[in-house]
Every structure is written in C-alpha cells, then in structure tokens.
C-alpha cells in the first residue's frame, strides 16, 4: 500500500513539474532560470513553513441582493524576512514542481478552518471560507481523510468549507470526478474556479459534483463595454441557475460591474470594488464597512427582489409549459377576436399523437386546423363556453383519434376573457364500445331468429327481455309482456321454489293470449354479482310440440 501511495505522490509531483514547464517553457534550462530569477528554492519553502512565515489574507464575497458578506476566499502570502510580502504567483509554481505544495496546502487548509471557527466563536455572522486546491492536492490519495481530520480538530462543520478547483484539473475527467465525489461525501462545498478559461466540456459540467461556478475575472472586467463578454457573463449566470448551481463573479472593480451582475441575477461577487484581500484582523475591523459601502451604488433590495421574482415567475412559466407538454392529454386556450376564435395556447402529448404541433394551432382558427365539415359543431361548443356556460363537453375525432373535450370560461371582473379546454384520448374506449355494440347486435340477431322461447328476468321475476318467438308460441306481442311478472303467465310458479337446480329441466304450463295452457319444457340459468347477489335469470323454453322424442 505504501508503495502505491508513493507512486501516486511521484505522479503528482511529475504532473506539477509538467505544469510548471508549460508556464515557463519546454526546456530544463528555462525552468532553472525561472527558479533562479525568483531566487526561491525548495529548501527556502521548507524553512518558511517551519518558521511560520506563510500567512493567509481573506477577500470577502458578498451576496448581490443583500450586499451582506456570505464568505471569504483565503489567499496565501509569504512574509519573507528580507524580501517582504511575496505574492503566491512567485512561489506556488515552485511549490507545485517540488512537491512542497502538499504540506503548504495542508497548512493553508488548517489555518483557514481554524480562523473560520475562531470568527464564529467571536460572534461574527456565519460565513463559508474558500480555499484553493492545487492539482497536486486534489489527486492526493488521502485528501478527503486529511480534510475531514482537520475539520474535526478545529470543530468546524464541513458546510462552512468550500474548496475551489480549476477547469484545467479536470483534463483527466474520470480521476477528477472520483476525487470530487470523495470530497462531496464529507460534506464540503466545491466550486469550479476560472470558469470559461480552461478545458472542461459543457457535456462534463452536468456530471461534476459541484455547488458553484466562478466567472473568471477576464470576462467580468470588460462586461460593461464588450458585448461579447457581457453575453458570456449572462450565459454563465443563466446556465448556472438552470443547472441549480450558485454563481460567483470574480474581479468586480467598478459600480458598472456591480449593476451589470445584479441586473442579471448573479448570486455572489468578490473584487476590489468591495475589498482587496485583507489580513484576518483588518477583515474583522472593516467587516461592517465592506457590507455598507456597496449599497450606495447597488440596486435597492426592493428592485433586486423584483428581479428575482421576475426570474421565479419566468421559471414557473417554463416549468408549466414543460408540464403541459408532457401531460398525456392536451390543453388549449382560445380568445375571441372580433367574430373569430383564435387559439393562444395548445400543447400536450395528444396534440402530437394527432399529427399536430403547437405552431400549427397557436394563432390559428378551427378552419385552419380541421376539415370544413367538422368545424360548425365545434364552433357551437366554443360559442357556448365563450358565452359563459361552464363545463361544456363534447366528443370528436381527428385523424384516427377519438377525444373527449371539456371547455371552461376564464373570467376577469365577471367578464369572460378566455376559454381553457382540455382533451383526453378516448380512442380505446370508443373501440370497446364499438365491439360491444357489434357483439350485442349479433347476439340480439341470433336471439331474434331462434324458435325457442327466451325470457330474461330481473331478481323480482319481472320480464326484461322476451324473444320474438313469444308471439308465435303464446300470442302476446313482445312489448305487451315486457315489465310484467312471469308469474302472471305460469301455472305452477316453480321459480318460487327454495331450491332450484339449473342443471334440471322443468315442465311448466304457460298461459297463452286466449287463456289456454301451453306445455313447455324449461331450462334456466342464474347470474350473480361479485357479492353473490342475484342479478338476473335466463329462461329457455320449448313447447312439447317442438320437443324431439
């Protein structure tokens, strides 16, 4: 295991060395020259760490609707005893190339977390501290465990730590996403720094386990003057919100930048307009000043809230449109313009099933959509709903699809302003009805052409149906005996017996229209519902003169 970790660290160092080579040139001589120019060696970095010469400055991040400080980015500086304050761009590349970035990065993480916890204990409002990760740190095999241990040591909740990574670290996407997932599992936040300047594909962005995008300052700097940069900034903000990500703008230096970002609903921002990076003591001392000063130039909270509401309403409208499109039926709306009914909305799966699309319906009349012979009946229904009748329903057919439509007027101030319609597909039901009608017609045709006497009775022995053979055998017109009790025509009343066996034949005498008794051989069957209650009986009788001996 130790061997594998060692190989991993070696790979990190080599990778960092390669990055350094890319920054300065492609020759070892130029790398050496870079180190010589800075006059910084690996040994210098080790001693600086041992002597506690590194320090963190904090640049505040402000919420652009409230102008309140929501967090700060921790930025490392080197307080050299002879050279003074050395900026990170002069020693971080050497730290990356030599592997010193790992112990320096660990120190920065621990210090930033410790400072955040100290601010919380002093009563400062809760904020999220952001710490930049290098490629060497991100791909270190024990980074997540190390950060979790630091959080436990200083007793800081992981929700208050944000780790910033750059797009260039995601060149090996599989390794990058694995590392980020391990960090997300311990509960910290992750932001993608310098967005738009690196190598990430937009197709990868949806899969990255990140919480925020940071707009690179190069786009922010010219967004008030260059329409292309302005478009990029707007697009990143809109895309971030659609992906449910927060968005932070870097490099805000003017009130124009601030207003442009506020107008486009950017969530947070940082830059010299609010404050340069500050030592921890000065950060606390100027805390209220940093929050108050931008409010003179920024949009009021009321206007910001209005813009946010506009965005929410637009999102709700988009969601509603998508919901309507995906529902199985069809929803439409029409208004009366002059003497014409014009459709102003139409969508739903049923619309596409009948071979139409919204663009072929919206702005159109019925005559533009359906055959002429179908228009007049539909117009009468449209007119009834427009005149205020609630719950107007009708069935129709378009192409091979049957539908049931329901219309309801929409009133404002007591006056109908529009009509909302909804349709459901009833093709399957109509097919079943058609088959039942055909089946019933066939059965009735058979019954009407048999010689046997066929009678259907309800549970009270009332005649519900009688075959035409009744008139031939007993002389009664069929319509005269429907609704009468069968007992009126029977001599023995065998149906009143407590126990009847449908498998047996019964001999009965039925009275004909002249008062004579006709001997009939009867069989019957009883039909019951799911609860065991009698629904009907079917009697089939044959006069003895027809019975074969």
Kindly report the CATH number assigned to the domain that includes residue 511: 3.30.450.20
What's the confidence (pLDDT) of residue 538? 87
- Asked whether 131 and 112 are in contact (CB, 8 A), the reply is yes
Where in the sequence is the domain holding 223, given as residue range(s)? 2-297
Tell whether the model's pLDDT for residue 496 goes beyond 80: no
- Asked whether 343 and 361 are in contact (CB, 8 A), the reply is yes
Is pLDDT larger for residue 295 or for residue 127? 127
Query: Are residues 240 and 379 both part of a single domain?
Result: no
Tell whether the model's pLDDT for residue 182 goes beyond 80: yes
| Backbone angle region of 271, left / alpha / beta, with phi > 0 → left and psi within -120 to 50 → alpha | left
Q: How many domains does the chain have?
A: 3
Query: Are residues 505 and 424 both part of a single domain?
Result: no
What's the confidence (pLDDT) of residue 59? 97
Averaged confidence pLDDT in the chain? 83
pTM for the full predicted model: 0.57
Query: Are residues 28 and 62 both part of a single domain?
Result: yes
- For the segment 59-103, what is each residue's pLDDT rounded down to a tens digit? 999 998 888 999 999 999 999 988 889 899 889 988 988 889 999
What spatial distance separates the first Cα and last Cα of the chain, rounded to whole Å? 101
Edge to edge, the sheet with strand 506-511 lists: 463-466, 453-457, 534-543, 517-528, 506-511
User: What SS3 state is found at 328?
Assistant: coil
State both tokens at 193: 């720094």
- Tokens 């800081």 -> residue: 156
Q: Strands, E, within 348-445: which ranges?
A: 392-398, 401-412, 415-425
Q: Is residue 308 part of a domain?
A: no
Query: Are residues 278 and 354 both part of a single domain?
Result: no
CATH number (domain holding residue 190): 3.20.20.450
Q: Strands, E, within 364-516: which ranges?
A: 392-398, 401-412, 415-425, 453-457, 463-466, 506-511
- For the segment 186-200, what is each residue's pLDDT rounded down to a tens digit? 999 999 988 877 655
Tell whether the model's pLDDT for residue 423 goes beyond 80: yes
DSSP element (H, E) containing 14 = helix 2-24
- Asked whether 77 and 279 are in contact (CB, 8 A), the reply is no
- Asked whether 109 and 154 are in contact (CB, 8 A), the reply is no
User: Looking only at Cα atoms, what is the longest distance across the chain?
Assistant: 137
Query: Are residues 93 and 221 both part of a single domain?
Result: yes
Report for 81-85, 123-127, 506-510: range of highest mean pLDDT: 123-127
Query: Are residues 274 and 135 both part of a single domain?
Result: yes
The CA distance from 133 to 118, in Å, is: 22
Radius of gyration of the chain (CA): 42
Weakest-pLDDT range from 25-39, 121-135, 369-383, 501-515:
25-39
Tell whether the model's pLDDT for residue 286 goes beyond 90: yes
Domain ends where: 369, 396, 429?
429
* Helix residue ranges, H only, 243-336: 255-263, 280-285, 287-292, 301-326
What average pLDDT does this structure show over 473-492? 88
Query: Are residues 229 and 372 both part of a single domain?
Result: no
DSSP element (H, E) containing 44 = helix 42-50
State both tokens at 94: 């050497």
State both tokens at 154: 């200083």
- For the segment 428-471, what is each residue's pLDDT rounded down to a tens digit? 888 887 777 776 666 666 666 577 888 899 988 899 988 888 88
What's the confidence (pLDDT) of residue 209? 92
């Amino acid at each position: 295991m130790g061997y594998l970790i060692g190989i991993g660290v070696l790979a990190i160092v080599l990778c960092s060395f390669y990055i350094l080579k890319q920054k300065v040139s492609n020759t070892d001589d130029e790398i050496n020259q870079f180190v010589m120019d800075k006059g910084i060696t690996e040994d210098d970095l080790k001693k600086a760490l041992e002597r506690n010469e590194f320090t963190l400055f904090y640049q505040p991040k402000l919420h652009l609707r409230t102008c309140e400080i929501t967090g700060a980015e921790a930025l490392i500086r080197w307080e050299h005893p002879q050279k003074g304050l050395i900026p990170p761009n002069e020693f971080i590349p050497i730290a990356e190339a030599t592997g010193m970035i790992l112990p320096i990065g660990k120190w920065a993480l621990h210090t930033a977390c410790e400072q955040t916890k100290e601010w919380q204990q002093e009563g400062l409002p809760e904020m999220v501290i952001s710490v930049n990760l290098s490629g060497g740190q991100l791909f270190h095999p024990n980074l997540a465990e190390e950060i979790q241990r630091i959080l436990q040591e200083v007793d800081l909740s992981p929700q208050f730590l944000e780790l910033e990574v750059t797009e260039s670290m995601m060149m090996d996407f599989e390794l990058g996403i694995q590392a980020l997932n391990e960090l997300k599992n311990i509960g910290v936040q992750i932001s993608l720094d310098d967005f738009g300047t690196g190598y990430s594909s937009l197709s990868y962005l949806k899969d990255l386990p990140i919480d925020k995008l940071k707009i690179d300052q190069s786009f922010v700097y010219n967004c008030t003057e260059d329409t292309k940069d302005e478009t990029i900034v707007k697009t990143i903000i809109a895309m971030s919100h659609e992906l449910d990500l927060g968005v932070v703008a870097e490099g805000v230096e003017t009130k124009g930048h601030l207003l442009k970002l506020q107008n486009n609903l950017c969530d947070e921002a940082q830059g010299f307009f609010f404050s340069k990076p500050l030592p921890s003591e000065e950060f606390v001392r100027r805390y209220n000043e940093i929050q108050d000063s931008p409010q003179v130039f920024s949009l009021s909270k009321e206007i910001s809230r209005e813009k946010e509401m506009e965005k929410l309403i637009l999102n709700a409208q988009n969601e509603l449109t998508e919901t309507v499109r995906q529902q199985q039926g069809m929803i439409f709306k029409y208004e009366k313009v002059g003497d014409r009914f014009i459709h102003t909305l139409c969508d739903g799966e049923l619309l596409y099933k009948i071979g139409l699309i919204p663009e072929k319906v919206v702005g159109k009349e019925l005559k533009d959509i359906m055959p002429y012979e179908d228009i007049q009946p539909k117009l009468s229904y449209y007119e009834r709903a427009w005149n205020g009748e609630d719950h107007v329903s009708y069935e129709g057919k378009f192409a091979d699809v049957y539908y049931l439509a329901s219309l309801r007027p929409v009133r404002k101030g007591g006056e109908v302003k529009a009509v909302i319609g909804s349709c459901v597909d009833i093709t399957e039901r109509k097919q079943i009805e058609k088959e039942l009608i055909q089946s019933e017609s066939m059965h009735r045709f058979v019954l009407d052409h048999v010689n046997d006497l066929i009678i259907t009775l309800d549970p009270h022995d009332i005649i519900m149906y009688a075959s035409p053979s009744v008139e031939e055998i007993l002389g009664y017109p069929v319509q005269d005996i429907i609704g009468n009790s069968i007992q009126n025509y029977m001599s023995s009343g065998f149906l009143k017996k407590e126990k009847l066996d449908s498998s047996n034949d019964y001999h009965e005498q039925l009275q004909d229209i002249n008062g004579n008794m006709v001997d009939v051989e009867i069989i019957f069957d009883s039909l019951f519902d799911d609860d065991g209650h009698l629904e009907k009986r079917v009697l089939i009788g044959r006069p003895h003169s027809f019975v074969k001996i």
